[in-house]
Structure 1
Amino acid sequence: MSQSNKFDRRSFLTKASVGGAAAAAGSVLAAPAIAQESPTINWRMTSSFPKSTDTLYGTGEYFCKLVEEATDGKFKIQSFTAGEIVGGLQAADAVMDGTVEMAHTVGYYYWGKDPAWAVGAAVPFSLNYRGMNAWNYNGGLDLYNEFLAQHGLFALPGGNTGVQMGGWFRKEINTVEDLKGLKFRVGGFAGYVLERMGVVPQQLAGGDIYPALEKGTLDAVEFTGPYDDEKLGFVKVAPYYYAPGFWEGGPTVHFFFSKDKLEGLPKHYQAVVRAAARAADNYMISSYDWNNPKALLRLVGEGAQIRSFSPEIMSAAFDVANQVYDEMGAKHEWFKKLWDSIKAFRSEHYTYTQLVDFQYDYYMMQLNGQKRL
């Protein structure tokens, strides 16, 4: 080995030692920075749903689990059922007054504050769930959040039930006349529209519905669809099960965050929240699509009598809804902005789905009726 080679080797070892020491020092210095970037944070989320509705309430739990796992346990969100912190219909209020950092609820529960709250969730004869998702993720959600910012809130879609059932009735409903005086548990803005048709709307949180129906305080009730309705036992006291829930063609359930709290999170925590909400959004609809068909068959076995709303009722409801929208749009700026945005897309959406989805689905339904599937 030449002298120059020995020199080179010593030089290399010297540099390596110095470099290693520097790297070690760097790792010591970096540790506090990493800790600061991934702080330990604990939030609370209040839900509008009872624990028995394992898809509605369970979607919120799923979201919390994803956030905790993605942050290696550093960011934990504890979920509370309706009534544990506040009532189910006060979930968004609890965020606005700082009681909790976020809520999992439906915007139409708060339409009394401003009818614009309802448009981002569901109003009669709006979009189906695919249409709502398309609208949300292509500008609609941004518009809704502009409105919510006035209330210190920021929302992300946190699930969709798909088209809901029209509810459980003690007696058959064939005409508009049959609706008059009907004490009907119906959520949010839909009750205002149906009231124009003679219905006496009642807004109750999920856990309070069955007792009222059983005692006769209610004549009819709608909640979501077969899977949840089965758990709540409505078939035992109101056997006529109607479809469709034209007031909830594709209701978006939202995670409502304190805007300041969300924006105060580290950027990568904010990204985790967005990704977890998107996963939860898909989790809810796929769960309902899987479970509702099986639950419907079980309910029929328990005595549910399936009915469809008559064309007379559907047509009258559509006309009344449009009258209400014209009135609301004239008085409430944000209602008009949001509803105009949905209407602009609604016709395009149904033109396309009629050409493709409807024709395919209708053919498959015919095959199913022929027992060929």
Structure 2
Amino acid sequence: MSADTTTVTHPSRRSFLAKAGLGAGVVAAAGSVAAPAIAQSAPQVTWRMQSSFPNSLDTIFGTMETFARFVSEATDGNFTIQTFKPGDIVGGLQVLDAVSNGTIEAGHTPTYFYFGREPALGFGTGVPFGLNARQQHSWWHFGGGAEIINEVLAPMNAISLACGNSGAQMGGFFRREINSLADLKGLKFRIGGLGGQVMARLGVVPQQIAPGDIYPALERGTIDAVEFVGPYDDLKLGFHEVAKYYYAPGFWEGGAMLHAVFNLEAWNGLPKHYQAILRHAAEAANNWMLAKYDSVNPDALKELVSKGAELRYFPQDVMEAALSAANAYYEETAAQNEAFKRAWDSYRAFRDDALLWWPVNELAFDNFMARTRGRG
């Protein structure tokens, strides 16, 4: 806003004041306070926000851009968030660090990338055999998730909002078939978050690699398999060109949530209504991302198959062993880490109730409809 305090009272407002019997002095006074009040309520703010994902992934990166656009639109351009890709400021796996130390005011990233700093952050995105997208979002808002994760982030000088979800992810591309649990021994697998900790118990050698570096690693044979998101992004990244076996489901990410993370001091320095705008923009961007993936994944899957990808499902012994390994990891970690225990207790209780309700109606409907495909 301009520093000039010259104001004009809207004609209809001036007429109303005059008809109400108020004098010219009052009319002038009413006009004189309008502009300063507006200027104070809509300050000019410019932030920088970096994604953990390359801009070639137009859905994930596009979620950050959509979030920034919503904020600008809601503030008449007074609150501008400049968006950056990995490497523009910091690496893709250093986004939370850059937010914490104030290098950037905001980042768009899954919190499970940083489970090495605090294992409880895995629950912010999703854990093996956890919640689906809707359940994860519900736990975040109504099961204590937001409070738990932000308590963990506070000592890191950060705060987060849910800002995107991929839905259930695929199990990834493998150079060779997985016919039994024995085939996982020694497998070098790019896998993010707590999924890597669980798979390591099955003999897998987990690799955490930034998104932009995955394809070269797979092509060179540095890794044997890679999980990323789902058909749309996997097609863009070309994994099918070097590893043809495409597995489902990605049981370590039943509904992977992304976050807008903010430097806590920068957040606290905002007017309260700007904070509210960020909250609403994050919710809208969250819905945008999930809807976009639901729209583009079917055609991408068909294209992958047409280009030689062979769909497979993980064998039952792999699924059962992974579930046992996950539960053992959760219990062991909870016994040693109070923040993780608080998150796990909340998450598990919420999951148990969700799994009681879900098969009764939601899953029953989905299963029936899947069987009717092609009829009528």
The answer to whether TM tops 0.5 is: yes
**What is the SS of the residue equivalent to 1:187?**
coil
Match of 2:45 among 31, 41, 50: 41
**What is the SS of the residue equivalent to 2:344?**
helix
Give yes or no for contact 2:150–2:159 (8 Å, CA) kept in 1.
yes
Q: Equivalent residue for 1:342?
A: 347
Q: Equivalent residue for 1:98?
A: 102
Q: Equivalent residue for 2:207?
A: 202
CA distance in structure 2 between the partners assigned to 1:113 and 1:58 by the alignment: 27
Q: Equivalent residue for 2:184?
A: 179
1:95-174 correspondence runs (5 A): 95-138=99-142, 139-174=144-179
TM-score w.r.t. the length of structure 1 is 0.93
1:208-223 correspondence runs (5 A): 208-223=213-228
Q: Structure 1: any 5+ residue segments left out of the alignment?
A: 1-12
Q: Equivalent residue for 2:34?
A: 30
Q: Equivalent residue for 2:12?
A: none
Give yes or no for contact 1:191–1:201 (8 Å, CA) kept in 2.
yes
Q: Equivalent residue for 2:10?
A: none
18-27 or 85-94: which moved more? 18-27
Q: Equivalent residue for 2:195?
A: 190
Deviation at 1:33, TM superposition (A): 2.7
- Summarize deviations over 1:284-307 as a string: whole Å, max 9, x none: 111111111111011111111000
TM-score w.r.t. the length of structure 2 is 0.93
Give yes or no for contact 1:154–1:258 (8 Å, CA) kept in 2.
yes
Partner AA of 1:306 in structure 2: L
CA distance change for structure 1 residues 22 and 352 in 2, over 3 Å: closer, same or farther? same
**What is the SS of the residue equivalent to 2:270?**
coil
Partner AA of 1:29 in structure 2: V
Q: Equivalent residue for 2:283?
A: 278
Q: Equivalent residue for 2:6?
A: none
Q: Equivalent residue for 1:359?
A: 364
Matched, 1:64 2:75: no
**What is the SS of the residue equivalent to 1:184?**
strand
- Summarize deviations over 1:213-234 as a string: whole Å, max 9, x none: 1111111001000001110011
Match of 1:227 among 228, 232, 238: 232
Give yes or no for contact 1:120–1:338 (8 Å, CA) kept in 2.
no
For the aligned residue pairs, the C-alpha RMSD in angstroms reads 1.6
Give yes or no for contact 2:111–2:125 (8 Å, CA) kept in 1.
yes
1:256-271 correspondence runs (5 A): 256-271=261-276
Q: Equivalent residue for 1:10?
A: none
Give yes or no for contact 2:101–2:157 (8 Å, CA) kept in 1.
no
Match of 1:329 among 334, 338, 361: 334
CA distance in structure 1 between the partners assigned to 2:100 and 2:325 by the alignment: 33
Give yes or no for contact 1:82–1:88 (8 Å, CA) kept in 2.
yes
- Summarize deviations over 1:136-183 as a string: whole Å, max 9, x none: 111321222122212221111001111100000011011111011111
**What is the SS of the residue equivalent to 1:83?**
coil
29-38 or 132-141: which moved more? 29-38
Give the percent of matched residue pairs that are identical in Structure 1 and Structure 2: 53
Rg (Cα) greater in structure: 1
Give yes or no for contact 1:168–1:234 (8 Å, CA) kept in 2.
yes
Match of 1:53 among 49, 57, 65: 57
Q: Equivalent residue for 2:252?
A: 247
- Summarize deviations over 1:93-142 as a string: whole Å, max 9, x none: 10001100111001111001110111121111111111101111113212
CA distance change for structure 1 residues 346 and 31 in 2, over 3 Å: closer, same or farther? same
Deviation at 1:53, TM superposition (A): 0.7
CA distance in structure 2 between the partners assigned to 1:100 and 1:27 by the alignment: 39
**What is the SS of the residue equivalent to 1:157?**
strand
- Summarize deviations over 1:54-88 as a string: whole Å, max 9, x none: 11110000000000011000000011111111010
**Between Structure 1 and Structure 2, which shows a larger proportion of helix residues?**
1
Q: Equivalent residue for 1:77?
A: 81
